[in-house]
Amino acid sequence: MELRGKLQEILRDIEENYLPSVSLDLVVFGFHESQLKVLLLRFKDSNDWILPGGRVRKDENLDEAAYRSLRERTGLDRLFLQQFHTFGNVNRMTYFSREETLERMGLAEAAAGLWDSTYWANRDISVGYYALVDFTGTVPTPDFMADECRWWDIAEVPHLLFDHNEMIRLALRTLRRQLSYQPVGYNLLPETFTMTELQSLYETILGRSLDRRNFYKQILHYDVLERLGKRPTIPASKAPYLYRFRKERYEQLLNDEDLSVG
Amino acid sequence: MELRGKLQEILRDIEENYLPSVSLDLVVFGFHESQLKVLLLRFKDSNDWILPGGRVRKDENLDEAAYRSLRERTGLDRLFLQQFHTFGNVNRMTYFSREETLERMGLAEAAAGLWDSTYWANRDISVGYYALVDFTGTVPTPDFMADECRWWDIAEVPHLLFDHNEMIRLALRTLRRQLSYQPVGYNLLPETFTMTELQSLYETILGRSLDRRNFYKQILHYDVLERLGKRPTIPASKAPYLYRFRKERYEQLLNDEDLSVG
């Protein structure tokens, strides 16, 4: 009954300190050299993959809860998380049988009755956040609820619990749309890069190739790049120019379109 | 005590049938002839203006709750509501003193103690939705909680309760960004319109003027317009072309960027 005691303690802490009927889920995209991946957790003693997620403490802001959950569940810190959608269909959690999962984990007996409180009676409204990072710079670590925490190729994501496949789909749509009104790439490319490398990043996110001339025009329109010298190659006449982001302008574009209302 | 009984009934219904710690708020933008407005409610017997909002029934989807709330609080129906952000700061409701408001409304005595249940102990996480409609085609009607429901010029929005000014600001930013990846205007312009009229709509939403040639290029890039004959004027040589939206293509663009993940 040691395990039952532990579970009970966790659930009591949640019921006392966390908001009822609200949760959050995190879609962390990883980019490196023309590959786009997403971070998934595998439930302990199971083949069930899910997005990392969490709940909101009564005394913390929603955004804080997202960063804390990311840290607790994956060990990752200092990412830039952005909200993309909130999921609230009545049946969004019915794909998941808590009992079945517990049984597979050999925990059915230890956990019997623990979720009977009204706190757990309704589905959660889940707030989705996403981030885009260089996956070679991150070492995700699973929490005690998971056996594994690893990067999956976007094209190979398995069937996930809950509505988590739909979450990834919508997060990816948001990320792609973001390309049309904000620059992307800071911290994903080396400090200096060629236009071809930047275009490759965009193409990887969009999942399609782009017209080179239109791409140059759109990017230059942001006025966010500083052109440096040429990359040292032989012959020099064919060497591409190197660029770097103008950090101030980059951040200005991330917080643009300000308007005072009231 | 008649009033107290009525209030008690309403609160009991909410506690029994609606999710705790979740609410939603609606930013309805109205456009007509170069004017952009937003729909606000005035609390009964007060000068406190707020956005229309509501709560989520345990047995309804989040989106359904948004449409139902809009209908119940403003009498409006058949708008296209889109989520833009979810608001969850710890202090987001402390700007508002329920006691003070009730006192001003002469309801302090009748309402004493009614909100003491744990259901009301935490701030709500509020999901924000927005819509854009032709305000001349709508006749908003306040519900029993409000004395007034009317359109305000965006530039003249007063200080609102809660974080509702911030909600309008973020909804407007989302609407403006939307212009860069989706067409806007269907149902806001006459069935046939000139390019100048369409540009004027965009300029009103953006709050700034646009370069005519770049605007034409962006719009034609969507491939969403069908060019008709010229508007009958004298002299005909100077008459502008009329356009209309290709509805199928318009809807395709609203649901673009589909990707199968799992």
Is A259 in contact with B207 (Cβ distance < 8 A)? yes
Q: Say if residue A51 is in the same domain as residue A107.
A: yes
Please write the tens of the pLDDT for every residue from A161-183.
Answer: 889 999 999 999 999 988 878 88
B208 to chain A, any CB pair closer than 8 A? The answer is: no
CA distance B1 to chain A (A): 31
Which of B178, B208, B238 is the endpoint of a domain? B178
Tell me whether B61 touches chain A (CB under 8 Å): yes
- A209 and A154 in a single domain? The answer is no
Q: Are residues A27 and A121 in the same domain?
A: yes
So what's the pLDDT on residue B148? 94
Which of B117, B148, B178 is where one domain is finished?
Answer: B178
Predicted ipTM?
Answer: 0.89
User: According to the model, what pLDDT value does residue B259 have?
Assistant: 32
Question: Mutate which of A84, A86, A161 to test chain B, going by most B C-beta atoms within 10 A?
Answer: A86
B143 belongs to a structural domain: yes
User: How far apart are alpha carbons B33 and B204 in whole angstroms?
Assistant: 9
Q: Same domain, yes or no, for A135 and A21?
A: yes
Burial bucket for residue A139 (CB in 10 Å: 0-12, 13-18, 19+): exposed
Residue B63 at interface with chain A, using a CB cutoff of 8 Å: yes
Q: Are A161 and A205 contained in the same domain?
A: no
For chain B, say whether A17 makes contact (Cβ under 8 Å).
Answer: no
**Residue ending a domain, choose from B178, B210, B229:** B178
Q: Give, for all 262 residues of chain B, the pLDDT tens digit.
A: 577 888 899 999 999 999 999 999 999 999 988 899 999 999 888 888 999 999 999 999 999 999 999 999 999 988 889 999 999 999 998 766 777 777 877 778 888 888 888 999 999 999 999 999 989 888 899 988 889 999 999 999 999 988 999 999 999 999 998 887 888 888 888 899 999 999 999 999 999 999 999 888 888 888 899 999 887 777 777 788 999 999 998 888 877 643 333 3
| Residue A220: Cβ within 10 Å count | 12
Q: Is residue B107 located within the same domain as residue B236? A: no
In a domain? residue A177: no
Q: Domain range for residue B212?
A: 195-254
- Closest of A200, A186, A197 to residue A250, by C-alpha: A186
* Cα separation, B162 vs B93, whole angstroms: 5
* Residue among A127, A257, A258 whose CB faces B86 most closely: A127
Closest CA of chain B from A117, distance in Å: 14
The pLDDT of residue B187 is: 82
Mean pLDDT, residues A98-125 = 85
A109 domain-assigned? yes
Distance from the Cα of A72 to chain B's closest Cα (Å) equals: 20
Q: What is the per-residue pLDDT across A93-108, written as a single tens digit (0 to 9) for each? A: 876 677 777 787 777 8
pLDDT at residue B171 in the model: 97
In a domain, A80, yes or no: yes
Residues B121 and B167 in one domain: yes
* Average pLDDT of chain A to the nearest whole number: 89
In chain A, the number of structural domains is 2
Same structural domain, B200 and B174: no
Band (pLDDT 50/70/90 cuts) for residue A262 is very low
* Residue B261, domain member (yes or no): no
| Residue of B22, B181, B207 lying closest to A21 (CB–CB) | B22
Query: Do residues B125 and B66 both lie within one domain?
Result: yes
On whether any CB of chain B is under 8 Å from the CB of A174, the answer is no
Higher-pLDDT residue of A116 and B21 is B21
Q: Domain for residue B184, yes or no?
A: no
Using CA atoms, how far apart are residues B260 and A209, in angstroms rounded to an integer? 18
Residue B190 lies in a domain: no
Reported as a pLDDT band with limits 50, 70 and 90, residue A6 is: confident
Which CATH number covers residue B10? 3.90.79.10
The enclosing domain of B220 has a CATH number of 1.10.10
Question: Considering only A26-40, A62-76, A222-236, B201-215, which range has the smallest mean pLDDT?
Answer: A222-236
Residues 6+ apart with CB under 8 A from A45: A104, A105, A106, A147
What pLDDT does residue B169 have? 96
- Euclidean distance between CA atoms A242 and A232, whole angstroms: 10
Interface check B36 vs A, CB under 8 A:
no
Q: Which residues of A touch B172 (CB under 8 A)?
A: 257, 259, 261
- Please, where are the H alpha helices in B120-194? 164-178
Say yes or no: B199 and B99 in one domain.
Answer: no
pLDDT of residue B261: 35
- Paired tokens of A26: 């995190």
CB atoms within 10 A of CB A106: 11
Counting one residue from A and one from B, how many pairs have CB atoms under 8 Å apart?
113
Q: Are residues B122 and B203 in the same domain?
A: no
Contact A125 B122 (CB under 8 A): no
Classify residue A96: in a domain, yes or no: yes
DSSP for A157-205 reads: --PPSTTHHHHHHHHHHHHHHHTTTS---TTTS-SSB-HHHHHHHHHHH
Quick one: pLDDT at residue A95?
A: 64
pLDDT (0 to 100) of residue A1: 56
* One domain for residues A160 and A221: no
